[in-house]
Amino acid sequence: MSGDSMPTIITANLNGIRSAASKGFFDWMRDCGADVVCVQEVRAQYCDLHETLCNPEGYKGYFYLAQRKGYAGVGMYCRTQPLRVIEGVGDPQCDEQGRFLRADFEGWSVVSVYVPSGSASAERQESKFAFLAMFRPVMDALLREGRPIVVCGDWNIAHREIDLKNWQGNRKNSGFLPEERAWLDALYASGWVDVYRSLYPDAAGEGYTWWSNRGQAYANNVGWRIDLHVATPSMAAKAVEGGVIKDRKYSDHAPLWVRYGVISSL
C-alpha cells in the first residue's frame, strides 16, 4: 500500500475466529477487495491459527492475542506489509487481554481495538471504566502525532439515541450509560471523528453493527451501532463512503467498511 493509495478498511468483531471461518468469513474476505481488515474478539491462541487463518489468500495476518484461552484478542489482515506493527499500549491489563494492535503504512496508520464489554456484571463494568480511563491518554497521544490514523474496532458504546433501536430501555445498561456516552463526547470534542456518522449524519437502522442473540433482534433489526472507525481529522477528511455488510452473518456483529480517498505521504 503506497502513500497515494485509496484504501478500503473493514472492521469486524468475529466472536471467535474459528467460528467465523466456519461460516465463510475468509471466503468472503478474499473477494471483498479491502486493503486492511481489522478483527476483534479473535478468541484463540497462536497455536490455533493455522495458515488459512493466519494468511488467507491475498493477505498477511498480524495478531495480538489474550493470554487467557478463548478470550478477547485482536488482529489485522493487510494486503501490503506494514512498515511497522505495534502490539499493545504498555498497560498490563489491556495488553494481557490483547486489545490493541497498530500498523503503520506510508503516511498513515490503522489500529484494531477491542474495548471491553461491561454487560456481564458490575465488576466487568468497573473494569470497562478503568479501561476507558487508561485509553483516553493513549488516544490523546495518537492525536498529537499529527498523522492520519484510524482506530477501528468494537468500542462497545452506542453514542447517541440514533445509534440503537431501543435507546429508552437501555439508558441504564452497559453500552449506553451516561458515563460511557460522555467519554465519547469528550473524545470527539478533542478532535477525533466518528467516520460513519460524519458521512451519514442522519442514518439510523442501516448503521447498526450488533444485534443480541435473544429473540428476533437480528430479524427485526433491533440493533446497536458499536463498531466504529474513529479517525483523526486528517484521516476522516479522506473518507469517501462506507457501510455495514449484512448480507451474510459471520458473528453477532456485522463488518463495517469505509473507503478513504488518496492519502498523501507525510
**Could you tell me if 83 and 104 are in contact, meaning their C-beta atoms sit under 8 angstroms apart?**
yes
The answer to whether the annotation marks 154 as part of a ligand binding site is yes
The answer to whether the annotation marks 41 as part of a ligand binding site is yes
Q: Scanning the structure block, which residue is given the C-alpha cell 474478539? A: 41
Bridge pairing between strands 8-13 and 36-40:
parallel
Active site residues: 114, 154, 253
DSSP string, 153-172: EE-----SGGGBTTTGGGTT
Share in percent of the chain as helix, strand, coil (round to 5): 30, 25, 45
The answer to whether the annotation marks 57 as part of a ligand binding site is no
**Could you tell me if 246 and 223 are in contact, meaning their C-beta atoms sit under 8 angstroms apart?**
no
Torsion-angle region of 156 (φ positive above 0: left; ψ -120 to 50: alpha; else: beta): left
The answer to whether the annotation marks 50 as part of a ligand binding site is no
Q: At what angle do helices 122-144 and 178-189 cross, to 10 degrees?
A: 0
Specify which residues 229 forms β-bridges with: 152
The answer to whether the annotation marks 156 as part of a ligand binding site is yes
The answer to whether the annotation marks 229 as part of a ligand binding site is no
Q: Among candidates 243, 258, 222, which has minimal Cα distance to 110? A: 258
Integer Cα distance of 93 and 127 in angstroms: 10
Residues 6+ apart with CB under 8 A from 259: 6, 7, 8, 9, 239, 240, 241, 242
Binding residues for Mg(2+), by number, are 13, 41, 154, 156, 252-253
Binding residues, by number, are 13, 41, 154, 156, 252-253
